[in-house]
Amino acid sequence: MSAYGVLSLILFIWLIAAYLQAPYIELWSVQSWMKTLTLFIMFWVCLLLVCTFSQANPFSIGIGGKKFDPQKAGIVSLSKHPGFLAFALWSIAHMIPNGDVASMIFFGLMCALSLYGPKSLNDKRQSQLGMDKWRELNNQTLRKSPYVGWWRWGVAIILYMGLLHAHGPVIGVVPYWW
């Protein structure tokens, strides 16, 4: 699994490098509302990512299902796969203000992979847990509040601000206008 993760990271970095060097072929011009919408969506992406890596989840990626309490399902009651949801939203949020062919290919591919991931992972987890346990956990988590805790909101804000300020130096595009 570690080798797969390292290989995936290397390929993702390679894709980003190729995307950044691709020619710019405009499909639409960027409007200020597009940046505002992207900034709004990206906060929710950060919150989903913080929850993915800080809450037990027997269904998806993240810290796994150990210590999972279906009575306190947290983000799992909103989405069995908050990490995949975060990457799908990240992709969509970046397609909106990047109205060019390379962006549609890059972010569209990331979105498609993020939307396919839950089905693949559901199949894997169902076979691991067994259909009866899967249904039981699923039914228990759907009826709960997606309470995530105040500290996760705070970490999400810090992550959001960090990404916002690092975006310009790292990616070369300042995502805000103030």
67-110 pLDDT per residue, tens: 787 777 888 888 888 999 999 999 999 999 999 999 999 999 99
Q: Which of 64-68, 157-161, 166-170 has the lowest mean pLDDT?
A: 64-68
Residue 21 in domain: no
pLDDT of residue 23: 95
107-131 pLDDT per residue, tens: 999 999 999 888 888 888 888 888 8
pLDDT of residue 10: 92
Residue 12 in domain: no
Rounded Cα distance between 106 and 66, Å, is 35
> 141, 76 in Cβ contact below 8 A?
yes
Domain coverage including residue 66: 30-171
Bridge partners for 12 per DSSP:
none
Residue 162 in domain: yes
Question: Could you give the number of structural domains in the chain?
Answer: 1
Residue 19 in domain: no
Residue 142 in domain: yes
Residue 128 in domain: yes
Supply the DSSP symbol for 38. H
Distance of CA 46 to the CA centre of its chain: 8
Residues 6+ apart with CB under 8 A from 49: 82, 83, 86, 156, 159
Residue 6 in domain: no
Residue 18 in domain: no
